[in-house]
Structure 1
Amino acid sequence: MSAELLDTDYLVIGAGASAMAFVDTLLSESNATVLMVDQHGHPGGHWNDAYPFVRLHQPSACYGVNSRELGSGKKDLSALGEGLYELASAAEILSYYDQVMNQRFLPSGRVRYLPMHDYIGDRGSDHRCRSRLSGQELRVQVRRKLVDGTHAQTEVPSTHPPRYRVGQGVTCLAPNSLPSISQPWRAYVVVGCGKTGIDTCLWLLKNGVPSTSIHWVMPNDPWLVDRATLQPGLEFFEQCVRGVTAQYSAIATAGSLADLFERLERSGQLLRIDPAITPTAYRGATVTQAELRALRSIGNKVRLGHVLAVEPGNIQLERGRVEIPAGALIVDCSARGLAGWRVPQVFEDERINLTLVSNNQPVFSAALIAYVECHVADNAEKNANCRPVPAPHTPEDWVRIWDSYLGNFLKWRENEALFRWLFSSRLFLMTTVIRDVQPEDTERHALLKELSVARQQAAANLPTLMATLN
């Protein structure tokens, strides 16, 4: 029996955060039809697999899709939240995407959604998908383009087991299982220093685990971002604008990577966990000052490289072996997070590759790519507006990210309609910061002028700074 044939303007592989943001803007800016194919049972991508206590590392106000606000705009008044804007939880995000799908996408009559399906085509001319439940195969005729929303290759601990050996008699769990623990453990060994490791350490501390009972295995100390510098709204205008200006000024005046990071740290734009240890990683994680103090309270930090094996009572690492309390619980947070985003170009002849085109902002990037697809004519000009921006992994990536992003931003300014859309997009943080500035507010306009000058100076020095990385 031949496979059923479906037809659509755009075939979107994935229904994760980037794919949802792309389709939302596509619906607003065109009359196109869309078929979304995703392996999960609900929209939201990796949020379906995330640990239950995960939260965004950016304000809810700048996440999701353009057409619908996420969150209630409230402040986090908890001890670690410092009164900054709320960070949506995994449950809130999944509920939000379910509403976007069922209250906007499907009622539009232009979106069809196939959950629990694998794309099994060749990403060229043969487009097929197969149901994970029935095995039924569907063929898809694509009139315009395939949209690949899988390039992030997101890894979370619940779907990617440890790469190190776990010996007999050792209990090793993903952080997803922590809320189900029914009795205390003698010690908790957190493996990994990325966003998941940070979240897990803070969750343990918040739930009463003494800092002396936590052992934190940190292969690389990370540079962290002060969350207070990334807040939406006029209330945080001065802090946000001065912060971005400080970053541009650091780029404009730095002569080396070490010099750059010294300037960024001195101006409060980047933080480190241990003042005596120079970080060798940068993943874009954000913390409040209170969270930073909590992380610093953990005295049992292991900095001997990546884990090779865990045995009862000890851990073998690249640069040595350390003892751990007998009967300790190993909490594996070593999955790589954003493992992908290595895309040579966004627009190909019959394919769109969703990737970062902005500074560590995947949903805004996807929305902008959709706008460019709808309003810019040829692929060469589209790609000129959407140079791929690297995902954050190393300190060198901080420079590479700004080099690519700033090049894109200056290109966006040349397109009046695109630039106008940019500052109407709620997913673009600066939109929320400046939209309520009044014409007569001369002091704030003066700060924006300083930012613009610093941006030009940064653009002039970036080639020199980039050359030092090589």
Structure 2
Amino acid sequence: MTLETDYLVIGAGATALSFVDTLIAEDPEADVVIIDKHSAPGGHWNDAYSFVALHQPSATYGVESVPLGHDRVDQAGPNKGFYELASGAEVLAYFQSVMRDHLLPTGRVRYFPNCEYLGETTFRNIFSGEETTVKVRRKLVDTTYFATSVPSTHKRKFAVADGVRVEVPGKLPELWRAEEGLPSHVVILGAGKTAMDAGVWLLEAGFAPDAITWVKPRESWLINRIITQPGEEFFEGTVGGQLAIMKAAAKAESVAGIFHQLEKDGAMLRIDTGVEPEMFHYATISEGEVERLRTIGNVVRKGRVESIEPGRMILAEGEVEVPENALFVDCTASAVTPKPVSPQWQDDRIVLQLLHVPLVTLNAAVTAFVETNFDTDEEKNALCKPVTFVDDIDGYAGTLLGTGQNRFLWASNPKISQFLSQSRLDPAAPTVRWLKENAPERLAIASEMPAATMAAVPNLQKLVAEATAKRG
């Protein structure tokens, strides 16, 4: 079979749908074909564990033209007092609705699930084997750069002996009906946000803290959710948090110093204040969640697990005994692996990457806007400079610098600035619009941001150079 289209989009996840949504809004003539290996839109959300939820408020996630959530503030649980975080099921239902009720009815979007891309603008149905070649009039859009890994699909890097019970986090809510019965002890493997989510779930479900062992190869810095909130009631705190980041970046003698200052400012958290973090993945957490996780006292810090046997774990830096019937929860998948960056516009293709870390759907929307409103690839690439995702602590300087530079470019360009001023995906935009009409005097704090960002740039450049030299 042969098709013809303006844009062939590989992937139907959050970034792909955000890109397509803005693209067809900005270009009324654009025709799009979307292919994805999953049977439903939503990308990795189709594979995520059942109790997963957004890091960021629902109000600033998804596609521009379709709101997510109800702008509700949670009244109970670890997120109490903050704007709602859509569950994985809610996100999946949202993206299915975006495709079914918004994109497909335009008649300019065609969607092919259960299909893998073969290269050379050809794709194949996974089940039937039928191949389709697409004649692309404008651009191939590759949204697979992020290659998000989730526990249910990643390959384990440790050995498991017979008789050892290992599950992915998504199986935790099903423990009550498992043939093996309920475990008396649970071992969480991993130190990232998935492991934190698993720990909070276990505690909220009723597991006693001393019935949990947590294997943490590295400690992580965490963003305090209080500085990520939309809405006018949080405005000063949210903008104040962003100002604190730039002020710390302007003065710190090391990248670690930025984090320590932000911890004093209340913008950053860590679960164990006695351990120096080595990791930062932009995980966002509430103080309520941190308080719960601190009750888990049996924390193992002997590096990554290498193998598990009944009653024993072998780790990179030693062995640890555990109850023989312990359940191990594998949270070792890394959501995003840092990759080298390249220009987004590459002749006949667009490779979606990070521009404003960590707002992936905003990145995609801005890319689509620039694609439809500017002429040459050189001009487009000059306005959107990809930023590498941070893994270790030192990488934060480069991520801050790159994100800040892109924001400066966008603010300096009248077209993009106007687009962002109306964007629901840009966290501050809806609140700024409301304040301009209702309480303009409260915007004074936001006026400090450009100068604070510019003051931070020289020091961030120095810290980036030092980090690069350290890596050799």
Q: Give the alignment partner of residue 28 of structure 1, picking from 22, 25, 44.
A: 25
Q: Give the alignment partner of residue 286 of structure 2, picking from 274, 277, 288.
A: 288
How many angstroms apart in 2 are the aligned matches of 1:107 and 1:16?
A: 19
Give the aligned partner of residue 321 of structure 2: 323
Give the aligned partner of residue 138 of structure 2: 144
Do 1:146 and 1:350's aligned partners in 2 also have CA atoms closer than 8 Å? Answer: yes
Do 2:166 and 2:329's aligned partners in 1 also have CA atoms closer than 8 Å? Answer: yes
The SS at the match of 2:444 is helix
State the Cα deviation string for residues 8-35 of structure 1 (Å, max 9, x = none). Answer: 0000000001001000000110021000
Give the aligned partner of residue 259 of structure 1: 257
Q: Give the alignment partner of residue 173 of structure 1, picking from 157, 167, 175.
A: 167
How many angstroms apart in 2 are the aligned matches of 1:435 and 1:468?
A: 40
How many angstroms apart in 1 are the aligned matches of 2:422 and 2:57?
A: 17
Do 1:63 and 1:70's aligned partners in 2 also have CA atoms closer than 8 Å? Answer: yes
- Name structure 2 gaps, 5 residues minimum: none
Give the aligned partner of residue 266 of structure 2: 268
Give the aligned partner of residue 116 of structure 2: 118
The SS at the match of 1:413 is helix
Number of residue equivalences: 463
How many angstroms apart in 2 are the aligned matches of 1:443 and 1:241?
A: 14
Give the aligned partner of residue 354 of structure 2: 356
How many angstroms apart in 2 are the aligned matches of 1:196 and 1:449?
A: 37
How many angstroms apart in 2 are the aligned matches of 1:141 and 1:403?
A: 39
How many angstroms apart in 1 are the aligned matches of 2:406 and 2:248?
A: 20
The SS at the match of 1:11 is strand
RMSD: 1.3
Do 1:354 and 1:366's aligned partners in 2 also have CA atoms closer than 8 Å? Answer: yes
How many angstroms apart in 2 are the aligned matches of 1:32 and 1:411?
A: 26
How many angstroms apart in 1 are the aligned matches of 2:166 and 2:133?
A: 42
Q: Which amino acid aligns with 1:81?
A: N
The SS at the match of 2:345 is coil
Deviation at 1:416, TM superposition (A): 0.2
Give the aligned partner of residue 18 of structure 1: 15
Pair 1:129-2:123 in alignment:
yes
State the Cα deviation string for residues 245-272 of structure 1 (Å, max 9, x = none). Answer: 1111001111222322221111111111
How many angstroms apart in 2 are the aligned matches of 1:342 and 1:197?
A: 27
The SS at the match of 1:100 is helix
Do 1:343 and 1:353's aligned partners in 2 also have CA atoms closer than 8 Å? Answer: no
How many angstroms apart in 1 are the aligned matches of 2:52 and 2:330?
A: 15
Q: Which amino acid aligns with 2:113?
A: P
How many angstroms apart in 2 are the aligned matches of 1:397 and 1:65?
A: 29
Larger displacement relative to structure 2 (354-363 or 459-468): 459-468
Q: Which amino acid aligns with 2:423?
A: S
Give the aligned partner of residue 9 of structure 1: 6
Deviation at 1:453, TM superposition (A): 2.1
Do 1:10 and 1:35's aligned partners in 2 also have CA atoms closer than 8 Å? Answer: yes
How many angstroms apart in 2 are the aligned matches of 1:45 and 1:439?
A: 38
| Aligned pairs (5 A) from 1:380-395 | 380-395=378-393
Deviation at 1:468, TM superposition (A): 2.5
| Aligned pairs (5 A) from 1:359-370 | 359-370=357-368
How many angstroms apart in 2 are the aligned matches of 1:246 and 1:335?
A: 31
Deviation at 1:439, TM superposition (A): 6.2
Do 2:192 and 2:220's aligned partners in 1 also have CA atoms closer than 8 Å? Answer: yes
Deviation at 1:73, TM superposition (A): 1.1
Give the aligned partner of residue 464 of structure 1: 462
Q: Which amino acid aligns with 1:135?
A: G
Q: Which amino acid aligns with 1:238?
A: E
- Name structure 1 gaps, 5 residues minimum: none
How many angstroms apart in 2 are the aligned matches of 1:308 and 1:385?
A: 45
State the Cα deviation string for residues 40-74 of structure 1 (Å, max 9, x = none). Answer: 00000000000110000000000000000001111
| Percentage identity across paired residues of the two chains | 42
Deviation at 1:102, TM superposition (A): 0.7
State the Cα deviation string for residues 139-182 of structure 1 (Å, max 9, x = none). Answer: 11000000001111111111113210011110111111111112
| Aligned pairs (5 A) from 1:187-226 | 187-226=185-224
Give the aligned partner of residue 396 of structure 1: 394
The SS at the match of 1:140 is strand
How many angstroms apart in 2 are the aligned matches of 1:311 and 1:275?
A: 32
Deviation at 1:407, TM superposition (A): 1.1
How many angstroms apart in 2 are the aligned matches of 1:370 and 1:341?
A: 22
Larger displacement relative to structure 2 (226-235 or 255-264): 255-264
Pair 1:162-2:159 in alignment:
no
State the Cα deviation string for residues 397-444 of structure 1 (Å, max 9, x = none). Answer: 221111111111111122101111012111111213322113684642
How many angstroms apart in 2 are the aligned matches of 1:15 and 1:440?
A: 39
| Aligned pairs (5 A) from 1:14-93 | 14-30=11-27, 31-93=29-91
Deviation at 1:138, TM superposition (A): 0.6
The SS at the match of 1:426 is coil
How many angstroms apart in 1 are the aligned matches of 2:284 and 2:438?
A: 34
Give the aligned partner of residue 429 of structure 1: 427
Give the aligned partner of residue 453 of structure 1: 451
How many angstroms apart in 1 are the aligned matches of 2:184 and 2:438?
A: 61
Deviation at 1:340, TM superposition (A): 5.2
Larger displacement relative to structure 2 (341-350 or 237-246): 341-350
